[in-house]
């Protein structure tokens, strides 16, 4: 999996949900979308990249959502 593509996709999802007025609901929406629609290896590849390189390339809403996804995966 190409980390740059995964980051771009995750940030696009984040941009959509960022328009939600309720931040908690928006973060949950990003997490749910990634959990439901991404293959496990895509989620793992993004989480591995973040663990090794940091999360600076991700939107804050995506960073928060990945913490939720990580809890579900682990």
C-alpha–C-alpha distance, residues 58 and 40, integer Å: 19
Q: Within a 10 A sphere around the Cβ of 55, how many other Cβ atoms? A: 17
Q: Where are the alpha helices (DSSP H) in 1-74?
A: 3-17, 23-37, 40-53, 60-73
Query: Quick one: pLDDT at residue 72?
Result: 62
Four-CA torsion 13, 15, 20, 21, nearest 10 degrees: 150
- pTM of the model as a whole: 0.90
- Is the pLDDT score of 74 beyond 60? no
Instruction: Please write the tens of the pLDDT for every residue from 11-37.
Output: 999 999 999 999 999 999 999 999 999
């Amino acid at each position: 999996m190409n980390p740059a593509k995964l980051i771009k996709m995750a940030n696009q999802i984040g941009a959509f949900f960022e328009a939600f007025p309720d931040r908690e609901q928006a973060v949950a929406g990003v997490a749910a979308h990634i959990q439901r629609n991404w293959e496990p290896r895509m989620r793992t590849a993004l989480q591995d990249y973040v663990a090794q390189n940091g999360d600076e390339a991700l939107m804050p809403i995506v960073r928060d959502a990945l913490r939720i996804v990580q809890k579900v995966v682990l």
